[in-house]
Amino acid sequence: MAAQTVLILDFGGQYKELIARRVRECGVYSIVKPGDISLDKIREIDPIGIILTGGPNSVYKKESPHCDKAIFDMGIPVLGICYGMQLLSWSLGGEVTPCPSSEYGRTKMQVSTDSPLFAGLDPAQIGLMSHTDQVTKLPAGFRSIAHTVSCENAAIENAAKKLYGFQFHPEVESTPNGTAMIRSFLYSVCGAKGDYDLKNLEQQLISDVKKQVGDAHVLLALSGGVDSSVCAALLSKALPGQLHCIFVDHGLMRKDEGNEVEAAFKNRDLDFIRVNAQERFLKALAGVTDPEQKRKIIGTEFVRVFEDESKRLPNVKFLAQGTIYPDVIESGGNKAATIKSHHNVAGLPKDMKFEGVVEPLRGLFKDEVRALGRQLGLPRRFVERQPFPGPGLAVRVMGEITPEKLEILRNADAIFREEIAKRRIKADQYFAVLTDTRSVGVVGDFRTYNYVIALRAVKTSDFMTCEYAPISHKVLGTVSSRIVNEVKGAGRVVYDITGKPPATIEWC
CB burial of residue 275 (10 Å; 0-12, 13-18, 19+): middle
Which of 442, 426, 433 lies closest to 496 in space, CA to CA?
433
Q: Give the 3-state DSSP-derived string for 330-351, with helices as H, strands as E and coil as C.
A: HCCECCECCCCCCCCCCCCCCC
Helix or strand or coil: residue 452?
Answer: strand
- Integer Cα distance of 431 and 413 in angstroms: 6
User: In a 3-state reduction of DSSP, which class is residue 80?
Assistant: strand
E strand or H helix at 133, and its extent? strand 124-137
Reference 49, options 14, 82, 20; nearest CA is 20
Q: How many CA atoms lie within 13 A of 457 on its CB side?
A: 21
DSSP class of 489: T
The pairing of strands 78-81 and 49-52 is parallel
Task: Give the span between the Cα atoms of 481 and 36, in whole angstroms.
Answer: 53
Q: Which amino acid is at 61?
A: K
157 tagged catalytic: no
Tally the residues of the chain.
508
Our answer to whether residue 151 is catalytic in this structure is: no
SS3 128: strand
Cα separation, 32 vs 53, in Å, equals: 10
Task: Tell me how far apart the 2 most distant CA atoms of the chain are, in Å.
Answer: 79
Residue among 17, 26, 67, 82 flagged as catalytic: 82
How many CB atoms neighbour CB 288 within 10 A? 16
For residues 62 and 421, give the distance between their C-alpha atoms in angstroms, rounded to a whole number.
52
> Could you say which of 157, 171, 368, 419 is catalytic?
171
Annotated active-site residue 171? The verdict is yes
Please pick, among 26, 67, 131, 169, the residue that the annotation labels catalytic.
Answer: 169
Distance, in Å, from the CA atom of 459 to the CA atom of 422, rounded to the nearest integer, reads: 18
Burial annotation 120-151 (CB, 10 A radius, 16+ → b, else e): ebeeebebbbbbebbbeebbeebebbbbbeeb
Give the residue numbers annotated as catalytic, written as ranges.
82, 169, 171
